[in-house]
Structure 1
Amino acid sequence: EGPLWGWSDSRVIGLFATSLIGGILFVWWEWRHPQPMLQLRMFRRLAFSLNLLAALILFLGISFNLLLTPLFFQLVYQFDLQRTGLMLMALPIALSLTSPIGGRLSDRFGPRVLTIVGLLVTGCALLGLSTTTPVTPPLQMLSFLILLGIGVGLFQSPNNSTVLGDAPPEALGVASGLLAVVRTIGQTGGIALAGAIWVSQIFALNGGPVTPLTAAPPPILAGGYDVAMRVAALLAAITIVPSLIGGYALQRQIAPARPPVAD
């Protein structure tokens, strides 16, 4: 409701404050409870924590595509539901074909290299989608969706491997569950963020609110989409930092100890 209420509205500020206080109380309670739902000491492991954070940030960015690209096809390109669905199949097909390859390449070259390559490809694909206009050929958009699926596929398997590889052996089930939770939180939070940015930009380009939103002219809808996808590309670029540091930390842990140097 931020674009409609205004971001300085007391209700918006109050909800942000409530979520912050709730998060602090959750951490405090889990830390002091003798049998916590989530063992916070796991997060002292650098590779585990940072690569979980990388997954969270990336899924925030990917959610922009999940929400806005179908709307772009239907509202800007004026595609029907069947053609929209066929276009959207490109991403999951590319993802499903690339993920096993990413896992095998990760075993050969190490997870750090593959995660960074995957993030770079993902960022380029999102940036490419941000250049789409009402007159852009649909095949160009389709190619960027395929590229996005390849990038996520190259990232996901090595990143999961890094998280599980640095988790305590007795907590592998919890670590696997955390990966699923992070993915869900990233997707739901990303959809809310993407919608807020898209709507705010449409209102700004239109000079005021549009009711219903779908009544906005295609160039304005496309302008809101472009800005939102640039934010998604920025999130993919930010993800490189925790992924790089986390992969380096894991590599140092598993590196064989150097033999002592003789006098």
Structure 2
Amino acid sequence: MSEPRPRGPRANPWLTLVAVALGLFMVGLDGSVVSIANAEIARDLNATTAELQWVTNSYLLALAAALILGGKLGDRLGRRTVYLVGVVGFTVASVAIGLAGSIEGVIAFRAVQGAFGALLMPNTLALLRAVFPPKKFGMAVGIWAMVSSVSTALGPIVGGLLVEHVNWESVFYINAPIGIIALIFGLLVLPRSRNEAAASEKFDVSGVMLLALGLLAVVFGVVKGETWGWTSAGTLGSIAGGVVVLVLFGWYETRVAHPLLPMRLFRNPALTIGTVVTALNFFILLGVIFFVMLYLQNVRGFTPVESGVRTLPLSLTSMVASPLGAKLTEKFGPRLTMPLGMVLQAAAAFTMLTWTADSSYQLLWPPFVALGLGVGMVMSASSDAIVGNAPVQDGGVAGGLQATSLQVGGALGTSVLISLISSRVGATLGDSLNDAGVPHSATARFEEAKDAVAMGVAPVSEAMPAQLRAAVTEGSHTAFMNGVHTAVLVTGVLALVGAALAALGLRGRTDENSAAAPSPAAASTGTDH
């Protein structure tokens, strides 16, 4: 038995969009704001580089391992309930991080934060899928994508302001007021929504364990690849073992009566391609933002706030691109907007090949504009392709699938691109130092600092003679830019591969799935405990 259709604020899908946007903004902001706070966390808590990596990695692993589970729980227990539990847990964990007082506490509560984020994120799209009619779902997704893109891009600016003028703890405390507003507003306006059939099904415990184990192993191997080496036994063993477990998970899901992730979803080519392109989209976005911030702060010498302001074109254009991409997707389908967005990202990457250690801002902002436009368009198109092509009753699972591909792609982007930069720096640092005027006898000593150079930091001190200091700085920055050029070349090629995949694999606008799926009203109501 389903309840009557909701009345009042709960009957307004646009209020639902505002409510889920608040939670989404909180998670998106937290994903990129932490990178700005890392240096202060290390100084204040005496954290080693390895411990600092786990501030990010513990969050990422917990999030990636539980996203599809979070979507499934929403379908089964009620999307509104699971979303709001995620909001509360994420907010409390954020405050606990600031109060922890030790690096071990920060790492532990970051993992808790990631687990609750996995309850929150997939159910944002599932709630939209349940309340918006097919013709308006694309525009809703466009605004959802805009919030996601802008919150991620604003992270460095907000983080820079808070770290400079308050403290690193405030980067996490800021989630408290956002979370409280999201909870109160959500309680008032979010409708009850769940898959009634799923509520009575036997829960796929084995599927949960296999998926979590497989994703943990793959993401762990990816995030450790930079420090262990991409060809090391540990890295290859972790990634290969995870892939084997994920293949086993896929096989198992085709043989269980009530699967965690129905494999039938992948029969839809738009959904499958959308999942792959979503991963590529965030591979590019998060990977590029990471090394751009290193370039602006460590090579150019800008403060975190100054660096964030200079990347504003990325934020502003993504705001424009997301609803524009949604409108184009609504009219022409993702076959136009998805390849177009990836081509724009390729153009941004190839333009960065012209950057030098002292490029004027006139050379910096055009790639930010192209990247913002491309990311916003792909976010809208891929969300429509994934969640819009899944039956309404599987909205939570589809949202979890998209969020998982997004997080895995982002993890790969930061790890792989920084690894490429590190490798290129190691190969060219000696020659770059010599070309800049560093004596051959001193080169070996500075080459030992290649890890610092790979982060854009020149290994100099005030005690050095001015001429030597200038030569080491010039040579180090040249080596770093060599690494950046390698990274953006790979990024551009991957963007073109994504564009070709979308152009060749997607069909034009169809409403077959929408017609076959239950109406939003029919699927969105139900007891939400």
CA separation in 1, counterparts of 2:403 and 2:231? 33
Give the one of 122, 143, 152 matched to 2:345.
Answer: 122
- Normalised by the length of structure 1, the TM-score is 0.86
Give the C-alpha shift of residue 153 in structure 1.
1.6
SS at match of 2:423: helix
Paired residue for 1:178?
401
CA separation in 2, counterparts of 1:57 and 1:211? 26
CA separation in 2, counterparts of 1:8 and 1:191? 17
Deviations 1:184-227 (Å, cap 9, x if unpaired)? 11111211111111111111112465153423611111111111
SS at match of 1:133: coil
Identity of aligned residues (%): 25
Paired residue for 1:243?
502
Tell me whether 1:65 sits opposite 2:65 in the alignment: no
CA separation in 2, counterparts of 1:6 and 1:175? 34
Give the C-alpha shift of residue 43 in structure 1.
0.8
Tell me whether 1:215 sits opposite 2:468 in the alignment: no
Identify if the C-alpha distance between structure 1 residues 203 and 18 changes in structure 2 by more than 3 Å, giving closer, same or farther. same
Which amino acid in 2 is paired with 1:227? T
Tell me whether 1:54 sits opposite 2:294 in the alignment: no
Give the C-alpha shift of residue 23 in structure 1.
2.2
Tell me whether 1:230 sits opposite 2:489 in the alignment: yes
Which amino acid in 1 is paired with 2:491? A
Paired residue for 1:165?
388
Give the one of 300, 307, 324 matched to 1:84.
Answer: 307
C-alpha contact 1:114 1:154 (8 A) present in aligned 2: yes
Give the one of 400, 410, 435 matched to 1:187.
Answer: 410
C-alpha contact 1:125 1:145 (8 A) present in aligned 2: yes
SS at match of 1:130: helix
Give the one of 356, 361, 380 matched to 1:138.
Answer: 361
SS at match of 2:359: coil
Deviations 1:40-70 (Å, cap 9, x if unpaired)? 1211111211121121122222222121100
Deviations 1:143-177 (Å, cap 9, x if unpaired)? 21022101222222123222233223431232122
Which amino acid in 2 is paired with 1:181? T
Q: Which moved more, 1:185-194 or 1:243-252?
A: 243-252
Deviations 1:204-261 (Å, cap 9, x if unpaired)? 112465153423611111111111011111111110133123422765968xxxxxxx
Which stretches of structure 1, 4 residues or longer, exceed 6 Å deviation after superposition?
A: none
Q: Which moved more, 1:237-246 or 1:217-226?
A: 237-246
Paired residue for 2:325?
102
5+ residue gaps in structure 2?
Answer: 1-223, 431-446, 460-475, 514-529
Identify if the C-alpha distance between structure 1 residues 161 and 246 changes in structure 2 by more than 3 Å, giving closer, same or farther. farther
5+ residue gaps in structure 1?
Answer: 255-263
Identify if the C-alpha distance between structure 1 residues 3 and 97 changes in structure 2 by more than 3 Å, giving closer, same or farther. closer
Q: CA RMSD in A?
A: 2.4
C-alpha contact 1:123 1:237 (8 A) present in aligned 2: yes
Which amino acid in 2 is paired with 1:215? A
- Normalised by the length of structure 2, the TM-score is 0.45
Identify if the C-alpha distance between structure 1 residues 109 and 39 changes in structure 2 by more than 3 Å, giving closer, same or farther. closer
CA separation in 2, counterparts of 1:249 and 1:114? 11
Give the C-alpha shift of residue 2 in structure 1.
4.7
Give the one of 32, 36, 43 matched to 2:255.
Answer: 32
Identify if the C-alpha distance between structure 1 residues 19 and 40 changes in structure 2 by more than 3 Å, giving closer, same or farther. same
C-alpha contact 2:334 2:509 (8 A) present in aligned 1: no
Give the one of 360, 370, 374 matched to 1:147.
Answer: 370
Which amino acid in 1 is paired with 2:345? T
Identify if the C-alpha distance between structure 1 residues 14 and 43 changes in structure 2 by more than 3 Å, giving closer, same or farther. same
How many residue pairs get aligned? The number is 254
C-alpha contact 1:60 1:235 (8 A) present in aligned 2: no
C-alpha contact 1:75 1:218 (8 A) present in aligned 2: no
